[in-house]
Amino acid sequence: MTPRRNWAGNVHYAARRFHQPASFDELRRLVAGSDRLRVVGSGHSFNRLGDTTGDLVSLAGLPTAIALDRDAATVTVPGALRYGDLATHLHERGYALANLASLPHISVAGAVATGTHGSGERLGNLGAAVAGLELVTADGDLLTLDRRTEPETLAGAVVSLGALGVVTRVTLDVVPTFALRQYVHLGLPRESLDAALSSAYSVSVFTDWRTPTLREVWRKQRAEEPPPAADWLGTTAADHPRHPVAGMPPEHCTPQLGEPGPWHERLPHFRLGFTPSSGEELQSEYLVPRSAAADVLAALDPVAHLIAPVLQVCELRTVAADRLWLSPAYDRDSLAVHFTWIADADRVRPVLAAVEQRLAPFAPRPHWGKVFDIVPAAVAATYPRYADFRALAARLDPAGVFRTDLLDRYLPRD
CA-closest candidate to residue 408, choices 51, 12, 9: 51
Residues of the chain with pLDDT > 70: what percent? Answer: 99
All structural domains of the chain with their residue ranges: 67-176, 179-367
Amino acid identity of residue 404, one-letter, is T
Q: In the CATH scheme, what is the code of domain 67-176?
A: 3.30.465.10
Give Cβ neighbours of residue 299 (< 8 Å, ≥ 6 apart).
358, 359, 361, 362
Per DSSP, the residues of 261-278 read: EEGGGTSSSB-TTS--S-
pLDDT tens digits, 317-368: 999 999 999 999 999 999 999 999 999 999 999 999 999 999 999 999 999 9
Stretch 360-389: mean pLDDT, rounded?
Answer: 98
Q: Does 242 score more than 60 pLDDT? A: yes
Closest by CA position to 103, among listed 84, 78, 129, 85:
84
Residue 324, pLDDT score = 98
How far is residue 333 from each of residues 299, 300, 341, 392, measured CA to CA in Å? 19, 20, 25, 25
Q: Residue 279 has what pLDDT? A: 83
Give the integer Cα–Cα distance in Å for 256 and 315: 18
Full-prediction pTM beyond 0.85? yes
Tell me the per-residue pLDDT of 183-228, one tens digit each, with 9 for 90 and over: 999 999 999 999 999 999 999 999 999 999 999 999 999 999 999 9
Closest CA to 317 of 107, 44, 102, 115: 102
Distance separating alpha carbons of residues 158 and 14, to the nearest angstrom: 26
Res 385 pLDDT > 60: yes
How far is residue 343's CA from residue 348's CA, in Å, rounded to a whole number?
8
Longest dimension (CA), the chain: 63
| pLDDT at site 205 | 98
8 A C-beta contact, residue 205 and residue 213: no
Provide the 10 A C-beta neighbour count for residue 314: 26
Among the ranges given (40-49, 83-92, 389-398), the one the predictor scored with the smallest mean pLDDT: 40-49
Please give the mean pLDDT across all residues of the chain: 96
Q: Cα 197 vs. chain centroid, distance in angstroms?
A: 19
Has residue 87 got a pLDDT over 80? yes
Mean of pLDDT values over 234-240: 97
Plot region of 14 (φ>0 → left; ψ -120 to 50 → alpha; else → beta): alpha
Give the pLDDT band (50/70/90) at residue 414: confident
Does the structure show a pLDDT above 70 at 3?
Answer: no
With bands split at pLDDT 50, 70 and 90, how would you rate the model's confidence at 41? confident
Least confident of 160-164, 271-275, 399-403: 271-275
Section 251-276 average pLDDT: 95
CATH number of 179-367: 3.30.70.2520
**pLDDT reading at 92 higher than 70:** yes
- d(Cα 213, Cα 155) in Å, to the nearest integer? 39
Q: How confident is the model at residue 2 (pLDDT cuts 50, 70, 90)?
A: low
| Mean pLDDT confidence for 92-112 | 97
